[in-house]
């Protein structure tokens, strides 16, 4: 059989979308050696990031050309048994579609998007979901949200959780701190948050909570470190930092590759994720897999991901965020317990299992039964 995947996100710093499709493709290559896998990529560097047995085709970085021309042309030539896309499929496709919709924040909180982007997603995702044979989503929260907004059959929406790549693992905190100091110049211990600098991630709320933390405990030596890509919203955050009484304790690392991100997780004393809306919240699991205590929002899918392994708070309350941060930073026993619980929680998620579940969907859509070895079946169960 032949499966095609729109992998244009690889190499484009599209954070969660890129992480998702790259890890699935790596596991597909290991788990499904008998079939033909084709990835449609937009960056030449992406080819080096994929296993050799996956064939690649180039598509434009321009989404209109990619969706309107390139994918249609490749599909006509390749004739795959299905095409897997994220959010938006090509204008024309004879192949059955599987679409991954990680969340519908563009419908539920359009204020977190530019007006054009919100309108674009409303139109293109609606069209793709209606055409798709299956809709994959990473959490029960997102599944319920999709079914609220789209008039599709319940059995059409399948939950396949995200996972953590193997490089996210515990490393010695002092070693990680030394690496961060050498490369980024950050010398103090720090509280970490990870995510694009956009309003949905609530960076200004975290900044104000951090002000309360230092006001309550002025002897704390910690900085607040933001790791994430600059966006259209960045100006508002940087302006808030310039006006903040703790502006000299706030650091920005920008977008970092996974090798550096592991060091940031390893070096921090606490990971905080104060987002207002997430379809999953992958950084929560990444921090836990690195053995770090987590405090996160109690909204949307985040309690589903963190379970009982993190401290939950109301992201709209800077007082609750500050209290959670202080509880962990000042109580070493609590911090150690959260680190242990987090490691156990993260171990329950694997890209191998997620890829195996996704392949089952592929075979179901293509009308075939997948043949698996007993060992692979046991690992996927």
Q: Tell me: the pLDDT tens digits for 341-376?
A: 999 999 999 999 999 999 999 999 998 655 554 334
Mean pLDDT of the chain, nearest integer: 94
In terms of domains, do 226 and 261 share one? yes
Q: Give start and end residues of each alpha helix (H) in the chain.
A: 15-31, 63-65, 71-78, 105-108, 115-131, 140-149, 173-184, 203-216, 234-243, 258-267, 282-289, 302-306, 318-330, 332-346, 351-366, 374-380
CATH of the domain at 212: 3.40.50.2000
**Residues contacting 208, CB < 8 A, separation 6+:** 318
In a domain, 267, yes or no: yes
Q: Give the residue among 243, 238, 206 at the shortest CA–CA distance from 224.
A: 206
In terms of domains, do 146 and 77 share one? yes
In a domain, 108, yes or no: yes
In terms of domains, do 362 and 342 share one? no
In terms of domains, do 326 and 207 share one? yes
* H or E element, residue 322: helix 318-330
Count of alpha carbons within 13 angstroms of residue 177, beta-carbon side? 12
Integer Cα distance of 266 and 203 in angstroms: 21
Residue 119: domain span: 2-163+350-380
Q: Give the residue among 356, 368, 373, 374 at the shortest CA–CA distance from 2.
A: 368
In a domain, 284, yes or no: yes
In a domain, 289, yes or no: yes
In terms of domains, do 92 and 190 share one? no
Q: Are 215 and 319 in contact (CB under 8 A)?
A: no
In terms of domains, do 95 and 19 share one? yes
Q: Are 204 and 226 in contact (CB under 8 A)?
A: no
Tokens of 307: 């379970």
The pLDDT tens digits of the residues spanning 85-125 come to 999 999 998 999 999 999 999 999 999 988 999 999 999 99
pLDDT given at position 15: 75
Integer Cα distance of 256 and 42 in angstroms: 20
In terms of domains, do 308 and 240 share one? yes
In terms of domains, do 254 and 197 share one? yes
The pLDDT tens digits of the residues spanning 212-251 come to 999 999 999 999 999 999 999 999 999 999 999 999 999 9
Integer Cα distance of 173 and 278 in angstroms: 28
The pLDDT tens digits of the residues spanning 255-314 come to 999 999 999 999 999 999 999 999 999 999 999 999 999 999 999 999 999 999 999 999
In a domain, 168, yes or no: no
Q: Are 26 and 48 in contact (CB under 8 A)?
A: no
pTM of the model: 0.91
Mapped onto helix, strand or coil, the DSSP state of residue 125 is: helix
pLDDT given at position 35: 87
Task: Indicate whether 333 pLDDT > 70.
Answer: yes
**Distances, alpha carbon 208 to alpha carbons 82, 248, 276, in Å:** 48, 14, 15
In a domain, 247, yes or no: yes
CA–CA–CA angle 376, 377, 378 (5° rounding): 90
Task: Indicate whether 380 pLDDT > 80.
Answer: no
Integer Cα distance of 104 and 110 in angstroms: 9
In terms of domains, do 106 and 155 share one? yes
In terms of domains, do 148 and 251 share one? no
In a domain, 261, yes or no: yes
Integer Cα distance of 354 and 210 in angstroms: 36
Integer Cα distance of 378 and 373 in angstroms: 9
The pLDDT tens digits of the residues spanning 117-141 come to 999 999 999 999 999 999 999 999 9
Residue written as token pair 């496709």: 93
Tokens of 176: 């990680």
CA–CA–CA angle 111, 117, 123 (5° rounding): 105
68: which DSSP letter?
A: I
In a domain, 41, yes or no: yes
Mean pLDDT of 162-167: 94
Tokens of 313: 């708070």
Number of domains in the chain: 2
Integer Cα distance of 328 and 268 in angstroms: 12
69: which DSSP letter?
A: I
pLDDT given at position 114: 87
In terms of domains, do 251 and 129 share one? no
The pLDDT tens digits of the residues spanning 3-36 come to 999 999 998 876 789 999 999 999 999 998 788 9
Q: Are 102 and 17 in contact (CB under 8 A)?
A: yes
Tokens of 110: 């359009």
Task: Indicate whether 378 pLDDT > 50.
Answer: no
pLDDT given at position 12: 82
Q: At 351, give phi and psi (nearest 5°).
A: -70, -30
In terms of domains, do 221 and 154 share one? no
């Amino acid at each position: 059989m032949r499966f095609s995947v729109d992998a244009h996100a690889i190499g484009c710093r599209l954070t969660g979308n890129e992480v998702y499709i790259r890890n699935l493709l790596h596991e597909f290559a290991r788990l499904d050696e008998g079939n033909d896998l084709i990835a449609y990529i937009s960056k030449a560097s992406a080819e080096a990031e994929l296993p050799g047995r996956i064939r690649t085709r180039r598509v434009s970085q321009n989404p209109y050309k990619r969706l309107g021309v390139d994918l249609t042309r490749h599909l006509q030539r390749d004739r795959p048994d299905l095409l897997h896309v994220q959010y938006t499929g090509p204008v024309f496709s004879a192949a059955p579609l599987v679409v991954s919709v990680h969340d519908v924040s563009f419908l539920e909180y359009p204020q977190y998007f530019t007006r054009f982007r919100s309108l674009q997603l409303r139109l293109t995702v609606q069209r793709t979901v209606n055409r798709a044979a299956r809709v994959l989503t990473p959490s029960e929260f997102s599944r319920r949200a999709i079914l609220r907004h789209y008039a599709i059959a319940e059995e059409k929406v399948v939950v396949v959780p995200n996972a953590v790549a193997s490089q996210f693992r515990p490393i010695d905190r002092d070693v990680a701190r030394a690496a961060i100091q050498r490369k980024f110049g950050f010398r103090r211990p720090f509280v970490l948050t990870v995510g694009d600098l956009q309003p949905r991630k609530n960076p200004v709320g975290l900044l104000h909570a951090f002000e309360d933390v230092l006001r309550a405990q002025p002897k704390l030596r910690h900085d607040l470190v933001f790791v994430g890509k600059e966006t259209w919203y960045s100006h508002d955050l940087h302006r808030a930092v310039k006006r903040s009484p703790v502006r000299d304790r706030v650091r920005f690392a920008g977008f970092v590759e996974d090798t550096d991100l592991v060091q940031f997780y390893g070096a921090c004393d606490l990971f905080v994720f104060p987002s207002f809306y997430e379809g999953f919240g992958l950084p929560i699991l990444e921090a836990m897999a690195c053995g770090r205590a987590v405090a996160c929002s109690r909204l949307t899918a985040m309690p589903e991901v963190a379970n009982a392994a993190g401290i939950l708070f109301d992201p709209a309350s800077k007082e609750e965020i500050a209290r959670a941060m202080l509880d962990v930073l000042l109580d070493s026993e609590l911090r150690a317990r959260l680190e242990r619980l987090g490691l156990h929680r993260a171990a329950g998620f694997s890209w191998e299992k997620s890829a195996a579940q996704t392949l089952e969907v592929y075979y179901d859509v293509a009308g075939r039964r997948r043949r698996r070895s007993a060992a692979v079946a046991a690992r996927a169960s």
